[in-house]
A and B are shown apart, each in its own frame.
Chain A
Amino acid sequence: MNKIMEIAARNLLRYQRRTLLTSMLIVIGVVAVLLFVAITGSFKQMMVGQITDSMLGHAQIHRRGYVASIESLPLNMNMPPAMVARVTKALEEEPMIEAVAPRVKFGAMFSNYTETTSVRVNGIDPETEVKVTPLLAERQLDGERKGPLLKRGEMLVPVLVARGLKVQAGDTVVLIATNKDGSVNGKNFVIRGSLESATGPGGRDSYIHIDDARELLRMAQPDVSEFVVRVKDAQKVEAVSARLAESVGGLTNKEGRPMLEVHPWQRLSPFANIANMIDMLTLAIKVMLVSIVLVAVMNVMVMAVYERIREIGAISAIGTPPSRILALFLAEGLMLGVLGTVVGVLLSLGAIYALNIWKITFAFGQQQGLLLAPAIAARDVVVIAGMVIVVAILASLQPALKASRMDPMTALRHV
């Protein structure tokens, strides 16, 4: 085998320029794919992180039908204490969960006593909320940032609402809400600070303490609108969500239908479609790489066989088994693939390292100066390298088979 590899290497060196050009094509392809995967992967990871860590969490649990009518934030679809206890038990039994936070959500009128606008209010437990959405605190633009995210009687308002109504940290405002029974109630809050929107200018989510929310809504019992879940491994959100859905699925209504729904973030945010598009683009560029390698290597190997027909005839005539002739040409394809891949991977890793040193920043929604940190998983490198090498061998297969099946007498007569 060593001799076959050695002869294959010498044959490649015999046509140095052609070998170099083909290897360069493979190198360019490998670099393009690895850089694309690294940059888009880190972009996707950052965007997903921004959305999940500052607002959505990794998954949410609601009463069935709540998400479908989420625009009206229906209070009659909150989870009552018995249901809350059932969900809490299921969450405690799932080992992959890192943190859980309850929320009470409702629509309210926000007034500075002279002007009024509508807001979406999230009643949160500040201690658990920062565990499920660790970037939420970083979105606070002004006001007191030390200590807990919120105290009772305080409110975090979206920056655009604060600007529109000309309120700032320390100002007193009033929230007016209609409770489940239809009665209206109001409560004063002090602005703790304004919040940068995670999703763009339309963001109207404001935050108050969950106990204030229940008081404002005059809840007779501690209902919960949603549970926000953070899992230990963000890659396993869908698997954990599926397990949770199964464990809370036993809670059914009179018709026997499950009363609860578990939604991973992908089903709550339109950004999941953008993430899917990034995956599709990655797949497309991988297909392009495969095509480049296939065409480049096959072209070289077809030429190699054509130019060496007499040589093939001679080695066949002296008794070289067809399997060894096949191996000889496959080895040449393998070496081209390995050479291009190794150089391509090294260049890509160097480029990724350089991009991390130069620190590329970009804006997303209202957020400026997000730092892009391209990174590539060892698994991705191995998969792409393996793919290129396998394709190089496959591209050599047809010419190699042709060489191994060549009639020696015809080959020896070839001019």
Chain B
Amino acid sequence: MRLVHAKNLTKTYRAGDVDVPAVRGVDFAIEAGSFVAFVGPSGSGKSTLLNMIGCLDHPSGGALTVLDTDVAKLDRRAAAEFRGKNIGFIFQDFNLIPVLTAYENIEYPLIMVQNWPPAKRHQRVTNMLQAVGMEAQAHKRPDQLSGGQKQRVAVARALVADSKLVLADEPTANLDHDTAYRILELMKKMRGELGTTFIFSTHDPKIMREAEVIFTLEDGRLLTSKNHE
């Protein structure tokens, strides 16, 4: 089943009087449950692609469907609702909410984005904390956690609301080698358990090695796509 499908997808930014093409007519399809990496040098367009798939940015041309929805047609409110229901995000800088504990950060989408009943919510958050190995740090705030622990919480937050798709923009860039490896293993494990599709933008060779599908970008064009399986 195709989860994401792009056809002749373009994105052009306006910088003063100049049009700057970030993505130039790319075509790709991503199957549900896959572990996909967009790779390429800085400025190649991988983050732009991720933003468009995540409904954070609108395509300038072409077609992009995510979960059978033409995301180009979503307005701000509808895009927020679509993201809340279907997409989880993992950021390079973790972007946890500083005033909330690890438990509350994971719980946040279930309260503020969806509206889960308390008992079900508690059960789900507890399960996610166990799944990412953070039960002992449940009541710590982000400033009391290491980088790896923060990213574990971010992974749990991205998955807690049964997201069908997780977008991770350079998720290991701020982590040391061992921690990055453990986070990657965690994401693979969660993919195995939940069947969630993971799409990364990365420079990290570890992720490239683990990805089942790699799309290589340069100057906004898709150069190659490689299937490790």
Chain A positions near chain B (C-beta within 8 angstroms): 3-4, 7, 10-11, 13-14, 310-311, 313-322, 324, 405, 408-409, 412
B150 on the interface (CB 8 Å rule)? no
Contacts of B87 in A (CB 8 A): 319
Instruction: From known contacts A315-B112, A317-B89, A409-B56, infer whether A322 and B80 are also in contact, taking CB-CB under 8 Å.
Output: yes
Report which of A3, A7, A11, A316 forms a contact with B80, defined as CB distance below 8 A. A316
In the complex, whether B181 has a CB less than 8 A from a CB of chain A is no
Q: Are A11 and B83 in contact (CB under 8 A)?
A: no
**What would be 27 A-B contacts, judged by CB atoms less than 8 Å apart?**
A7-B97, A7-B99, A313-B95, A314-B91, A315-B97, A315-B108, A315-B112, A317-B89, A318-B108, A319-B80, A319-B82, A319-B83, A319-B84, A319-B113, A320-B80, A320-B112, A321-B77, A321-B80, A321-B81, A321-B113, A322-B76, A322-B77, A324-B112, A408-B56, A412-B56, A412-B91, A412-B95
A408 to B89, CA, bound (A): 12
20 more A-B contacts (CB under 8 A) besides A14-B99, A316-B80, A320-B112?
A10-B99, A14-B98, A311-B97, A313-B95, A314-B89, A317-B54, A317-B83, A318-B83, A318-B89, A318-B157, A318-B158, A319-B82, A320-B80, A320-B84, A321-B77, A321-B81, A321-B84, A409-B51, A409-B56, A409-B57
Does B220 belong to the interface (CB within 8 Å)?
Answer: no
User: How many Å from the CB of B228 to the closest CB on chain A?
Assistant: 29
B86 to A, closest residue via Cβ:
A319
Cβ-defined contact, B83 with A311, below 8 A: no
CB distance from A34 to the nearest CB of B (A): 33
**Complex: chain B residue closest to A2, CB-CB:** B111
Q: Which of A14, A313, A408 is the most central at the interface, judged by chain B CB atoms within 10 Å of its CB?
A: A408
Residues of A within 8 A of B77 (CB): 321-322
Contact of A320 with B113 in the complex, beta carbons under 8 Å: yes
Partner of A3, one of B81, B84, B93, B111: B111
Q: A7-B100, A319-B81, A319-B85 are in contact. Are A310 and B111 (CB under 8 A)?
A: no
Closest residue on chain A to residue B83 by CB atoms: A319
CB pair B76 A318 closer than 8 Å: no
The bracket for how many chain B residues form the interface is 20 to 34
Per the 8 Å Cβ criterion, residues 91-116 of B in contact with A are 91, 93, 95-100, 108-109, 111-113
Chain B residue numbers with a CB within 8 Å of A317 are 54, 56, 83, 89, 95
B45 interface residue (CB < 8 Å to A) = no
Contact indicator per residue, chain B 205-222, by CB within 8 Å of chain A (1) or not (0): 000000000000000000
Contact surface of B with A, Cβ cutoff 8 Å: 51, 54, 56-57, 76-77, 80-85, 87-89, 91, 93, 95-100, 108-109, 111-113, 157-158
- With a CB–CB cut-off of 8 A, which chain A residues contact B54? 317
Contacts of A319 in B (CB 8 A): 80-85, 87, 109, 113
With a cutoff of 8 Å between Cβ atoms, the chain B residues found around residue A10 in the complex are: 99-100
Q: Give the 9 A-B residue pairs with the shortest CB-CB distance, closest first.
A: A319-B84, A314-B95, A10-B99, A319-B83, A319-B113, A409-B56, A3-B111, A320-B112, A317-B89
Q: Does A318 contact B99, Cβ atoms closer than 8 Å?
A: no
Closest chain A residue, CB of each to CB of B52: A409
- Which A residues are in CB contact (< 8 Å) with B83? 317-319
Chain A residue numbers with a CB within 8 Å of B100 are 7, 10
Within 8 Å CB of A412, what residues of B? 56, 91, 95
**Which chain A residues lie closer than 8 Å to B80 at the CB level?**
316, 319-322
- Distance in angstroms from A332 CB to nearest chain B CB is 11
- By a CB distance below 8 angstroms, the chain A residues around B97 are 7, 311, 314-315
Interface core residue of B84, B88, B96, B112 (most chain A CB under 10 Å): B112
CA distance in complex: A3, B111 (Å)? 8
Residues from chain A with Cβ under 8 Å of B111 in the complex: 3
Distance from A175 Cβ to chain B, minimum over Cβ atoms (Å): 84
Q: How far is the CB of A315 from chain B (nearest CB, A)?
A: 7
